[in-house]
Amino acid sequence: MISETLQNAINEQIKAELDSSYLYLAMAAWCESVNFKGFAKWFEKQAEEENAHAKRFYEYLVDRGGRVILKGLDTPPADFGSVEKAFQQTLDHERHVTARINKIYDMARNEKDFATQEMLNWFVKEQVEEEATAEEMLAQTRMAEGRPGNLLYLDRHAGKRGDA
């Protein structure tokens, strides 16, 4: 059985993952509103991944005999200003999530809860990917700044995310 401290931390993390999903869905909706269909699709995929992360924590908590308690989500912004700014916010957000996961890892280590550490290893690796992807998208959109043709090219490319 999982400790109450870790149970609370994982419940907070379920909320954080769903907040991430909600934030990226808001970015997708904003991209739609300015006709960047490709970036919109990219953010939709990102939102789906965050839902899967929440589900992963949810299932782990159930498996460990913990109680899942859902919390209200934060209202995301409706306007992101530019695609570049949206990716800057994506990177900042992913860094924030990494810090949260590291904190839970530290708690699990102090408690000698090896199962939770093992579960979190997947997330530690996933966050390396998440930050790298956000950094890449930010760098590319930054390079396309002031060049609408390049930004449209990136939009089309981003829309292919997840296609084989």
Letters for 103-142 (x = contact with Fe ion by CB under 5 A, - = none) are ---------------------------x------------
How many angstroms separate the Cα of 135 from the Cα of each of 40, 54, 97, 147? 18, 23, 15, 19
- In the complex with Fe ion, which residue's Cβ is closer, 21 or 151? 21
Least distance in angstroms from the C-beta of 79 to Fe ion: 21
Number of residues that bind Fe ion (CB under 5 A): 4
User: How far is Cα of residue 75 from the mean position of the Cα atoms in its chain?
Assistant: 15
State the Cα–Cα distance between residues 6 and 19, nearest whole angstrom.
19
Binding to Fe ion (CB under 5 A): which residues in 44-103? 50, 53
> In terms of CB distance, is 40 or 151 closer to Fe ion?
40
The stretch near Fe ion (CB under 5 A) out of 6-14, 16-24, 61-69, 73-81 is: 16-24
Angle 148-158/37-63 helices, nearest 10 degrees? 40
Q: Which residues contact 87 (CB under 8 A, 6 or more apart)?
A: 134, 137, 138, 141
Binding site for Fe ion (CB under 5 A): 17, 50, 53, 130
